[in-house]
Structure formats: C-alpha cells, structure tokens
Amino acid sequence: MKYIIGIGGVTNGGKTTLTNRLIKALPNCCVVHQDDFFKMMGFAAVFYWSLLFQPPDQIAVGADGFKQWDVITALDMEAMVNTIKGWIENPIKFARSHGIQVTPSIEMDDAESQVHILIVEGFLLYNYKPMLEFFDKSYYIAIPYEECKRRRSTRQYTVPDPPGLFDAHVWPMYLRHRDAMENCGLQIEYLNGLKTKDEIYNQVHEDINNTLLNRL
C-alpha cells in the first residue's frame, strides 16, 4: 500500500520538525522537501549570491521591492511532481536511492500489503493543482501573525532577512496563498502551531496510524 501525506504550513510553523519526527516513526517512510525545488541553486544560496553579485536568475523582483521567493513561480514544481511520480512508480527503489532501509515482507505473497509512505513537506503544497491528486492525507500548520513574526525574527539564517521583508512580502504572500488554498477543493486538516511539538506530533501520528489500520 502506498500512502502520501502532505505537511504544509506557514513559515516557521513547525513543518520540518514534525516531518522529521514522523520519518523516524513511520514504516518505509521517505520525504520530499519543497524547499529543495527552488529554482537555480536553492533559496539560501541564490539569496546569498544575489546580495553579493546580483547574477541573473529566474526570481523576479515584485512591486514590494523584494525578490519573490514566496510564490509558486520561484519553485520548479514540474520537477517536484516528477519526483513524487518516481516514488509512486517504485517506492522501494526510491527509498534505497535515498538511503532509507526498507522493511522486507515476511512472505512474497505479502508484498502487496506492505506499507510505503511518502511525506511531502512545504509551504505551498496545496497551491499547485497538478499535485493535489497525490495526497491521501493533508495537514496544514497555522500560527498567528505575532507568533510567526517572532519566530522568524529569532531564527538564524545564513543571510538575515532584509528589513521589512516579513511585513511587506512574507506575510502578505502567506495570506494570499492561504486564501487560494482554502478554495482548492482538497480536504485539509488544520493544526494549531501554538501547541507543543509533542502535542502536534502525537495528534498527527495517531491520526495516520488509525487511517493506515483502517486501510489494511
């Protein structure tokens, strides 16, 4: 059985923390991080080099005066979709190529009932229509403006956010994309990012296990 889980959410909401814990707890579990699909050479690297040398790249400057990293066009979503399709085609091969140990079936006849899980994690998971069909379960971590800004301001980036980035670009883009996401037609379970890491993990882990048990 193949099962794909989406872990979406606002910046600094706790997506990666939750994902990393689930990977260790779930059987035959792989992950695809949306951040790995920023165009050019990745978000941090491109941002760093653009500050120093201003090389030509595919990330436009918006009316807000900032590079438009928080939009879907900053990501190579076609490549991301193809990566997910690669897992769907052969989850065992995908897992092994990513250094994930696959638990073998006890009997050959039991191979079809073996559970393989893919977690897809990112901030714009539900804003790209060709990807919506993949998700068996969709979560979204949300936190309010004040907490999001506080967490963003205390996070140590290789290159700090330029002044005004959060209020002029990051948060407005989040609100715009969340509004679009809520009308995408996908059944999304919203998680309260103000809960403790353990509370969020326990809630999601229990929910996934119950769903898997009902499918077996």
3-state secondary structure 106-151: CCHHHHHHCCEEEEEEECCHHHCHHHHCCCCEEEEEECCHHHHHHH
3-state secondary structure of 177: helix
Annotation says 35 is catalytic: yes
Q: Which of 35, 57, 64, 161 is catalytic?
A: 35
32 strand-pairing partners: 120
192 strand-pairing partners: 142
Question: What is the Cα–Cα distance from 170 to 10, expressed in whole angstroms?
Answer: 10
Q: Which two tokens stand for residue 78?
A: 């076609």
Instruction: Please identify every residue annotated as catalytic.
Output: 35
